[in-house]
Copies of this chain bind each other. A is one copy, B any other.
Amino acid sequence: MRWTENFIPTLRERPVDAEVASHILMLRAGLVRKLSAGVYSYLPLGWRALEKVARIVRQEMDRAGALETLLPIIQPVELWEETGRVKEYGDNLLKAVDRSGKVNVLGPTHEEVITDLARNHISSYRQLPINFYQVQVKFRDETRPRFGVIRSREFLMKDAYSFNADQESLDETYQEMCEAYRRVFTRVGLKFVVVEADPGAIGGAVNHEFVVPTETGEDVIVSCPACGYAADVERAGAAGPESPQEETPAPLTRVATPGMTTIGEVSAFLNVAPDRLVKTLVYLADGKAVLALVRGDHELNEVKLARVLGAATVTMADPETIARVTGAPVGFAGPVGLTAPIVADPCVMALRNAVAGANAADAHVVNVNPGRDFTPSQVADIRTARQGDPCPHCRKPLAVSHGTVVGHVYQLGTKYSAKMKASFLDEGGVARPFVMGCYGIGISRTLAAVVETNHDDHGIIFPVTIAPYQVHLTSLNTDDPEVVATAERLSRELEAAGLEVLYDDRDASPGVKFNDADLVGIPVRLTVGRRALQRGEVEVKLRREGESRRVAVGQAAGCVAEVVSRLQDELAPHSSGPVA
């Protein structure tokens, strides 16, 4: 394919609204263009790379015995009401009202549709296990779309749904899918970790994320270098101290703290370290007020709090609610003497003679002792784990890093099948709800993660498996008929050998051509220039390496084919053990 017959609008400058490398480079290399917030068009190079990711995903799904389908984007809202997910998804759900006034959900995921299919057509254990998948456009009305196609409102996903007769069968399918995911991400050239995660609005008991470590990733991973424990920060256990502080309880005393409303201010004013303070936060859990206590130097984790409370939504209370619950303005809440339910983190319970708000303006209390001065209704891990915290498994220090989630697998159990009355007859003729799993890969996000982790200052460095083309052929000196004739011939030879060639036939300077080649990042480069050609040679170079080497024109096509094949071999997956 000639560059002049393609459409590759490369940009020299960094686009103004792009922050992360993948977003910048996908725009600069002409892979995508933004249509509106979080909505992107894939241009020819971007589409080719995206399609190659999808193809690899399909191959691995087929290999794992999953059956490809195509499920509708618009789905009757009634199906979503059966499972209660209209409420769970809330404003993230994009909807279209049709001419008859019916509300349609634009599918962010397809559990309801596939469970509906199963309840209509799968009646016997003999039809199980079965695993359906599709590659389909999905929608999520993000509050704040960003990072290009990483957090977008319209995106391409692979989603799979397994129906199993029992937990044991689900475990097997789950492991097979995890193995398929390992193969997919290895083949596309990603380094990834598998972590325990929060199930969010999908639900279920067990779930794992496949996370690509990146400096700018939005997802926070907590891992233990010592024992290998790894989890999403929303799931990661934040261990409490092994024992309470050893200190004799002193009498509870009220102190004046005029205008001191933050941990920092109170700590400085009273000359008490933040880790001796109780941070009291007023939340509304599904609309009901609750106090959440974490240590002054810790951060509350809202996802953990919601999980602990079994609440669909938790939101910080407004000042009016805080005043009503605590009798004081914002900044002076504390657990002593209040009637609202209290959830306390174990680290708070280990404090002795701590400081807390006095539930009165401009006042705190010191020498607060949990158990003596207040009794929480629930003690649970509700804080965000920090770098250096003890590992919940081995108590060695935890590491915190960032990454991008590219895959997420869930053991749903009977969450959907029970609500939707989707059952089969087991061997004994007894009706049982399907035991389900679901398995997602963000196809567009995977492409972005590859770019995010495969680039240098000059541009993308595509893994050969998903590069828009395998070979970038450049003719320098397009005024020299021999250079042009040689390049044309090589292009035909390479394509005849089954290689995908992007042939830069532009009448442009070597600088422009090399810059663009670096930017679009095709892995193998073949350059035809006058000087080398006078000695019967052309240049072969890998995008990821600085050095090029000269080969005889007659051997160029063979050499390039060999290099492409070697690069492919590097990304061949090897089998590995179970995940969970």
Flag if B91 contacts A99 (CB, 8 Å): yes
Bound Cα distance from A98 to B95, whole angstroms: 8
Q: Mask for A122-161, Cβ within 8 A of B = 1, else 0?
A: 0000010010101011010101000000000110100000
Q: How far is the CB of A26 from chain B (nearest CB, A)?
A: 13
Among B40, B74, B94, point to the contact of A39 (Cβ < 8 A).
B74
Bound Cα distance from A73 to B41, whole angstroms: 10
Given A65-B5, A99-B143, A130-B7: A120 in contact with B33 (beta carbons within 8 A): yes
Binds B, one of A44-52, A186-194, A491-499: A44-52
Among B5, B9, B41, point to the contact of A71 (Cβ < 8 A).
B41
Among B35, B42, B95, point to the contact of A96 (Cβ < 8 A).
B95
Flag if B35 contacts A139 (CB, 8 Å): no
A219 within 8 A of B: no
A315 within 8 A of B: no
Residue of B nearest to A134 (CB): B47
Flag if B36 contacts A76 (CB, 8 Å): yes
Flag if B67 contacts A6 (CB, 8 Å): yes
A106 within 8 A of B: yes
Flag if A141 contacts B6 (CB, 8 Å): no
A15 within 8 A of B: no
Flag if B116 contacts A35 (CB, 8 Å): yes
Flag if B69 contacts A43 (CB, 8 Å): yes
Copies per assembly: 2
Q: Mask for A169-202, Cβ within 8 A of B = 1, else 0?
A: 0000000000000000000000000000000000
Flag if B70 contacts A35 (CB, 8 Å): no
Bound Cα distance from A74 to B71, whole angstroms: 18
Contacts of A7 in B (CB 8 A): 67, 121, 127, 130, 132
Q: How far is the CB of A413 from chain B (nearest CB, A)?
A: 22
Bound Cα distance from A153 to B106, whole angstroms: 13
Bound Cα distance from A267 to B74, whole angstroms: 51
Residue of B nearest to A114 (CB): B41
Contacts of A97 in B (CB 8 A): 95
Contacts of A99 in B (CB 8 A): 91, 141, 143
A323 within 8 A of B: no
A83 within 8 A of B: no
Among B42, B68, B73, B113, point to the contact of A73 (Cβ < 8 A).
B73
A375 within 8 A of B: no
Flag if B75 contacts A117 (CB, 8 Å): no
Given A96-B95, A113-B35: A73 in contact with B137 (beta carbons within 8 A): yes
Residue of B nearest to A106 (CB): B96
A72 within 8 A of B: yes
Contacts of A102 in B (CB 8 A): 36
Bound Cα distance from A305 to B75, whole angstroms: 37
Bound Cα distance from A71 to B74, whole angstroms: 18
Residue of B nearest to A43 (CB): B69
Q: Mask for A98-116, Cβ within 8 A of B = 1, else 0?
A: 1100101010000001001
Flag if A72 contacts B5 (CB, 8 Å): no
Contacts of A117 in B (CB 8 A): 33, 41, 43
Bound Cα distance from A99 to B145, whole angstroms: 12
Q: How far is the CB of A36 from chain B (nearest CB, A)?
A: 5
Contacts of A35 in B (CB 8 A): 71-72, 75-76, 113, 116
Bound Cα distance from A41 to B161, whole angstroms: 14
Contacts of A116 in B (CB 8 A): 35
Contacts of A67 in B (CB 8 A): 6-7, 44
Interface centre among A36, A40, A72, A99 (most CB of B within 10 A): A72
Residue of B nearest to A78 (CB): B36
Q: How far is the CB of A534 from chain B (nearest CB, A)?
A: 31
Flag if A69 contacts B96 (CB, 8 Å): no
Given A9-B121, A35-B116, A98-B141: A42 in contact with B69 (beta carbons within 8 A): yes
Flag if A72 contacts B106 (CB, 8 Å): no
Among B68, B72, B106, point to the contact of A48 (Cβ < 8 A).
B68
Residue of B nearest to A130 (CB): B7
Flag if A154 contacts B96 (CB, 8 Å): no
Interface centre among A68, A74, A75, A127 (most CB of B within 10 A): A74
Contacts of A74 in B (CB 8 A): 36, 39, 94, 106, 139, 153-154
Query: What are 26 contact pairs spanning A and B, CB under 8 A?
Result: A5-B65, A6-B67, A33-B121, A35-B71, A35-B75, A35-B113, A35-B116, A36-B75, A39-B75, A41-B69, A41-B72, A42-B69, A43-B69, A44-B67, A44-B132, A47-B68, A47-B69, A51-B68, A70-B156, A72-B154, A73-B73, A73-B137, A74-B94, A74-B106, A95-B97, A137-B137
A-B pairs with lowest CB-CB distance, top 10: A42-B70, A96-B96, A44-B67, A9-B121, A91-B99, A39-B72, A36-B76, A41-B71, A99-B141, A35-B72
List 10 additional contacts besides A33-B120, A41-B71, A73-B139; criterion CB under 8 Å. Answer: A35-B71, A35-B76, A35-B116, A39-B74, A39-B75, A41-B70, A41-B113, A43-B117, A44-B68, A48-B68
